[in-house]
Structure 1
Amino acid sequence: MEESISVLQQIVPDIMSVLQNRYHIMRNIQMYAPVGRRVLADKVSLSERTLRTETDFLRKQGLLSSSKNGMELTEEGEDIFRQLERFMRLLLNMNAKEKALADYLNIQFCRIVPGDCDEDASVLDEIGKTAAKELHALLPAGEFIVAVAGGSTMAQAAEHFSPELSQNREFMFVPTRGGLGESMSIQANSVSDRMAQLVGGENMALFVPDNLSEKAYASMKSEPSIKHTLSVMKKANCLLYSIGNAKVMMERRRMSHGLISSLEAHNAVGEAFGCYFNENGEIVYRLSRFGLQIEDIEKIPYAMAIAGGSTKAKAIKAFMKYAPHQTWLITDEGAANLILKGVTL
């Protein structure tokens, strides 16, 4: 497969770029149909003029139809898209275990790094390196507002970002939330800023702690700078985040003994976007917080979850019930093996 693609690229140098763009266009039409050109252009980060050229081609091929309500895939288009999705997976060289994990979690793509970062710290670095590499494969050319979560895993991934990612792309990074009172280096603001520095993009900060009262939140929402940052965040077309082990996140947030006991009684196993959930993926507790909400992630076209370690297996499995199909997961064998335990490959 790799050899064939290499030959094609020598004859038609832009074949991968064209294929990737058309795949993303078809995927977003399928997700948001019926969808208008302006909305779709924002989703796929293309100008309306470029998008019109691509959609005209797909229409002539009988793969999409248009009405006053917008565009949608035809029956043939749906069939071609399913085949194209399988082809893209082959193109990305997922092995049997990665395909099994992606299918089991009902997401588009998985990459599994050897080892368990809970037992070997160097595996976490490899997860970060792999995440940066796969992000380059995930994103087409265009302009991106990237919402970035915090945490040690995300901070590790940030160190592997480079100007190469900015080739044919423009980036604005924005944190998904304020801070937890944790180490400054792993707060979302710091991780977002670090990524922007390394790729040569722009960054916006959100200096609002997670533990304010409802009254304090309400008053701060009217602050012009905070209001502007939140409005930019809501326009994010790329999301980079991790998934936390519930117990670890309780400690990081310095929760009261009473709340910890309550979460343990409700069998909380993981946390993401301020929500604690049990093994069934049910939200058992939700923090009041500024920033991106769990309901917002469905509409973000390019989403990458970066989380590994056997102690996060239950959290990853549970959270993926919320993750949209377009999610890419970068994890390690420690988590993957436990998630797939009992699943026939």
Structure 2
Amino acid sequence: MLSVIEKVAPGTLRILRKRYDILNHIQQHGPIGRRALAKHLELTERTLRNEVEVLRNQGLITTSSQGMECTSVGLNIFYKLERLMGQQEHSREIEAQLAKVLGIHHCTIVLGNTDQEQNSLVELARVTVELIDRILPEGKSTIAVMGGTTMFEVAERMTERIGLHRELLFVPARGGLGESVDIQANVIAENMARVTGGKARALYAPEHVRLETYSLLLEEPEIKETLEIVENARLVLYSIGDSIEMAKRRGLDDATLHMLQEKEAVAEAFGEFVNPKGEIVYKLSRIGLRSSQLPSIENVVAVAGGKRKAKAIEAHMKTVPPHTWLVTDEAAANEILNGGNPLK
């Protein structure tokens, strides 16, 4: 709820927190004078005077020669606000807990289960776009983006705001995948560029190639130049897949599928199939960004949700640099932290 308010009215949370702190101190220590309260809160008397005036005009506090006190209305509002702020703090605690378990610096968790609820997938994408807007500086930036259904949804939630005061170049972080055109990285990069007023550059190469073809393609001038741009991106944006599902989408043969099952592969990203320990058990010869290049990229954002992807997320996070930012949902977080039981 608070994140929605902040999106509609930027700066609201800062004001809300300040006025909550004022009400909190007044209800604990009132009647209290303005000078003592300003010292308590480490605010200037001028700043406090303006805030007190707002609260008094709203009928939340009274002032007298003895000091300031909360009215009955003020106390009622304070207790409701306390619950709201507590929910926000609890959410942050859960996100910090998940980040610690996964060994990364940042996690953002949205409500719901993207396996079952389209609204949760939409929210996952919307929050990802919000995150991009928060972490990207003004000026020039290159964004390397993978393909897939989740990235398609992120592209659908892009807005003109992302391009405001920015000069953005979107590049596919992998070649084509022989799947629906709409979810290929080239098309997603193009769509993101169109919505944000940025530019896009295509990578005209298949993702999965035979080993003998791989080195030849890497010497093609246009492919080579595009891959250099990808390697120097400011942000890479991708999703995490279930290993068997992704193997089938890539058209791997039955023998390889059987091998992946025997080696307990649970996750796939960047053409790498990993087991629950984060060990790479199979790797494709592919054209595109490699996981070994992630540590040198300033912003790494992984987006994946749903209970069925919990094992994949947990395994893949063992392979990423610590500065990776995961955007996931409540169902995946519950499964990773608490075996699927509701978080407390």
TM-score range normalised by the length of the shorter chain: 0.7 to 0.9
Q: Distance in 2 between matches of 1:287 and 1:6?
A: 51
Please list the CA deviations of residues 213-233 of structure 1 after superposition, one character each: whole Å capped at 9, or x if unmatched: 122222222222111111111
Match of 1:104 in 2: 101
Secondary structure class of the residue paired with 1:164: helix
Q: Which amino acid aligns with 1:146?
A: I
Q: Distance in 2 between matches of 1:148 and 1:8?
A: 36
Q: Which amino acid aligns with 1:319?
A: H
Match of 1:288 in 2: 285
Please list the CA deviations of residues 287-313 of structure 1 after superposition, one character each: whole Å capped at 9, or x if unmatched: 001110010011111111110011110
Does the C-alpha gap of structure 1 residues 104 and 250 become closer, same or farther in structure 2, counting only changes over 3 Å? Answer: same
Match of 1:253 in 2: 250
Match of 1:337 in 2: 334
Secondary structure class of the residue paired with 1:268: coil
What TM-score, normalized by structure 1, do the two folds share?
0.72
Secondary structure class of the residue paired with 1:285: strand
Q: Distance in 1 between matches of 2:177 and 2:13?
A: 49
Secondary structure class of the residue paired with 1:181: coil
Match of 1:301 in 2: 298
Secondary structure class of the residue paired with 2:161: helix
1:202 matches 2:199 = yes
Q: Which amino acid aligns with 1:164?
A: R
| CA displacement at 1:187 relative to structure 2 | 0.8
What TM-score, normalized by structure 2, do the two folds share?
0.72
Match of 2:125 among 114, 117, 128: 128
Percent identical among aligned pairs is 40
Q: Greater CA deviation, 316-325 or 146-155?
A: 316-325
Q: Distance in 2 between matches of 1:215 and 1:185?
A: 29
| CA displacement at 1:249 relative to structure 2 | 0.3
Matches within 5 A, 1:136-215: 136-215=133-212
Does the C-alpha gap of structure 1 residues 280 and 108 become closer, same or farther in structure 2, counting only changes over 3 Å? Answer: same
Match of 2:232 in 1: 235
Please list the CA deviations of residues 150-179 of structure 1 after superposition, one character each: whole Å capped at 9, or x if unmatched: 110010011111110112221111111101
The gaps in structure 2 that reach 5 residues or longer are 3-10, 19-87
8 A Cα contact 2:291 2:320, kept in partner: no
Match of 1:273 among 270, 273, 290: 270
1:5 matches 2:2 = no
8 A Cα contact 2:274 2:316, kept in partner: yes
8 A Cα contact 1:204 1:229, kept in partner: yes
**Residues matched between the structures, number:** 264
Q: Which amino acid aligns with 2:206?
A: P
Match of 1:264 among 261, 266, 271: 261
Q: Distance in 2 between matches of 1:318 and 1:173?
A: 28
8 A Cα contact 2:208 2:287, kept in partner: no
| CA displacement at 1:119 relative to structure 2 | 1.5
Please list the CA deviations of residues 79-131 of structure 1 after superposition, one character each: whole Å capped at 9, or x if unmatched: xxxxxxxxxxxx99952211211121122221111111111222111111111
Q: Distance in 1 between matches of 2:134 and 2:90?
A: 12
Match of 1:13 in 2: none
Matches within 5 A, 1:8-27: none
8 A Cα contact 1:94 1:111, kept in partner: no
Q: Greater CA deviation, 192-201 or 105-114?
A: 105-114
8 A Cα contact 1:184 1:190, kept in partner: yes
Q: Which amino acid aligns with 2:14?
A: I
Who wins on radius of gyration, i.e. which is larger? 2
- CA RMSD in angstroms comes to 2.4
